[in-house]
Structure 1
Amino acid sequence: MIFTLVLILIGALLLLVIGINVIQQQKERAEAERRTELARQRAIIDETENVLSNTGMFPCSPQTIMVLYRRVKDALKIAASLSPNQTADYERRLIDLQGQIDNLQQTPKAAPPIESFRLPDNDKQILVLVQVLKKLKAILRAEHNKGKVEPAVFAQEENRIDSLQLRINVDSMLSRARTACFMKQYGSSKQMVTKALATLHAIKAQTPNDPFIAKKVEEAKNMLDEIMGAQKQNAPHAPQPKQGDEDDIDVLFQPKKKW
């Protein structure tokens, strides 16, 4: 009888230990998942705020700004629920962000024209701009897939980004071509202009009425003519034989006289 009770107690203790371990493992798993999700939401906040801070580098529409604001707002709400110790900080940021959203909704503005875009002179700024546009396009697509961006708005904003990326690509190639031509690297310069023209013609077939394309095609053609002219002008000339040398050659190859 005593032996049976001991076995029962041992079994109960084992079950209790196993149960405690299971509960502890579940808590650790839940904590790990919480930390992972919190880190993901913070990354979303940081990425989106970084894009927002660089929207002054290109003509960004209010619709895109609103998508970015709402993305940060959603991430802040989730982060606040996952981090009780920092709830006050997240709530303060949510209040500030909501004020920006309300201000944008109350004073709607027209989207700035893409034609006003000018490529930065600094190569580092150009690289930052290219990266920002790439991130922005990915964000718009992700929010659209979640159903948070209307299809018409998504298509319109994606076309704006594609157009900006095209302008950056073409302007960058033409700018590098000018620099190469100035340094008398005519082969590289001609190659870049030819590539820019090929890109422009491919886009012109899709959007024949785009004034930017027509302007850049004309600019690229003129630049190509200038490069060809400069290359021809600076090409080394074959040395002309001297008059005395010509006489010596004539004498050498004239018919032999018989004596």
Structure 2
Amino acid sequence: MAFTLVLLLIGALLVVVIVFNAMQQQKERAEAVRRTELTRQRSIMEETEEVLSNTGMFPCSPNVSLVLYRRIRDAAVQALQLVPPQQRGDYERRILDLDSLISTQQSSGASIPSLESFKLPDNDRQILTLVQTLKKLRAIVRDEHNKGKLDPTVFANEEGRINNLQLRINVESMLSRARSSCYMKQYGSSRQMVTKALSTLNAIKAQTPNDPFIGKKVEEAKLLLDEINSAVKTNAPAAATTKKEENDIDVIFQPKKKW
């Protein structure tokens, strides 16, 4: 009887240990999932805030600002459910600030700025930051649209603006490098970049023939190409003369033939 009781106690103890271990493992898994999701929401907030801070580098639509504010707010609301109690106050204040910003943005009635006011930064690092910002912005706009949080018409308009800005940056950058190469008399590289810019512009012009930027840059690229071709012709005779003079000097100083 005593032996049976001991076996029952041992069995009960084993069951308790197994149940405790299972509960502990489940708790650890839940904690790991919580930390992973909290890290993800914080990353969304940080990336979106970085994009928002760089929107001053280009003509940013009020619709894009709203998308970014709402995305940060949604991530903050999700994070609020996951952070420890002592950190919740910070997130609650952040959400209130975002609600105020969103309300102000919605009631401001700001017009969409024209892309004609856009100018490419002079600094290469700023250009790189701008390119990266537009790439991230496009991904954000598409993600919000896929979630059903962005009106299809607004999505189409804003993606078109982003594409247009990326085109302008690409063309402006190619023409700028072409001018630099021409100034350094690297005419082959300069002509290659201008030709590439013209090909890009002509391809887009076929789709949007009334875009004033395209027409302006096509004329600008053609003028630059004419300038390059003229410089090549101007420098070609000088190069030939120099070569002839070198050949004449070689003839004078070459070994005399014995007859």
Question: Separation in 1 of the partners of 2:164 and 2:2?
Answer: 86
Please list every run of at least 4 consecutive aligned residues from structure 1 whose deviation after the TM superposition is greater than 2 angstroms: 238-242
Aligned CA RMSD, in angstroms, stands at 1.3
Q: Distance in 2 between matches of 1:179 and 1:231?
A: 15
CA distance in 2, matches of 1:85, 1:233: 75
Residue 85 of structure 1 aligns to which amino acid in structure 2? Q
Correspondence for 2:114: 113
Please report how far the alpha carbon of residue 3 of structure 1 lies from its aligned counterpart in structure 2 after TM superposition: 1.7
Aligned pairs, how many? 243
**Number of the residue aligned with 2:227:** 226
Aligned residue number for residue 48 of structure 2 = 48
Matches within 5 A, 1:1-259: 1-83=1-83, 84-235=85-236, 236-238=239-241, 239=244
CA distance in 2 between counterparts of 1:206 and 1:49 reads 34
* Equivalent AA in structure 2 for residue 18 of structure 1: I
Shift in Å at residue 86 of structure 1? 0.8
Query: TM-score of the superposition, structure 1-length normalised?
Result: 0.91
Q: Residue 60 of structure 1 aligns to a residue in which SS?
A: coil
Q: Residue 233 of structure 1: CA displacement?
A: 1.0
Distance 2:140 2:22 in 1: 39
SS at match of 2:240: coil
Q: Which residue of 2 aligns with 1:248?
A: none
Looking at structure 1, the residues matched to 103 and 147 of structure 2 have their Cα atoms a distance apart, in angstroms, of: 23
Alpha-carbon displacement from aligned partner over 1:111-169 (angstroms, at most 9, x marks no partner): 10011101001111000000000000000001111111111111110000000000000
Could you list the per-position Cα deviations for residues 1-36 of structure 1 after superposition, in whole angstroms to 9, with x for gaps in the alignment?
Answer: 222221111111111100000000011000010000
Residue 99 (structure 1) shift: 1.1
Q: Distance in 1 between matches of 2:234 and 2:21?
A: 85
> Deviation at 1:85?
2.2
**SS of 1:118's equivalent?**
coil
TM-score normalised by length of structure 2: 0.91
Shift of 1:218: 0.5
- Tell me which moved more, 125-134 or 206-215: 206-215
Shift of 1:53: 0.4
Aligned residue for 1:120, secondary structure, equals coil
Whole-angstrom distance in 2 between the partners of 1:131 and 1:85: 35
Q: Which runs of 5+ in 1 are unaligned?
A: 246-259
**In the alignment, residue 153 of structure 1 is paired with which amino acid?**
V
Per the alignment, in what secondary structure is the counterpart of residue 209 of structure 1? coil
Partner of 1:256 in structure 2? none
Structure 1 CA distance for aligned equivalents of residues 27 and 156 of structure 2: 44
What residue in structure 1 maps to residue 257 of structure 2?
none
Q: Distance in 2 between matches of 1:218 and 1:185?
A: 22
Distance in structure 1 (CA, Å) of the matches to 2:106 and 2:74: 17
Moved more, 7-16 or 49-58: 7-16
Displacement, 1:212? Answer: 0.6
Q: Which moved more, 1:46-55 or 1:93-102?
A: 93-102
Specify the SS of the correspondent of 1:78.
helix
* C-alpha distance in 1 between matches for 2:76 and 2:45: 7
The CA deviation string for residues 196-222 of structure 1, in whole angstroms up to 9 with x for no partner, is: 000001101111111111110010011
Structure 2, unaligned runs of 5 or more? 252-259
Q: C-alpha separation between the residues in 2 aligned to 1:94 and 1:45? A: 12
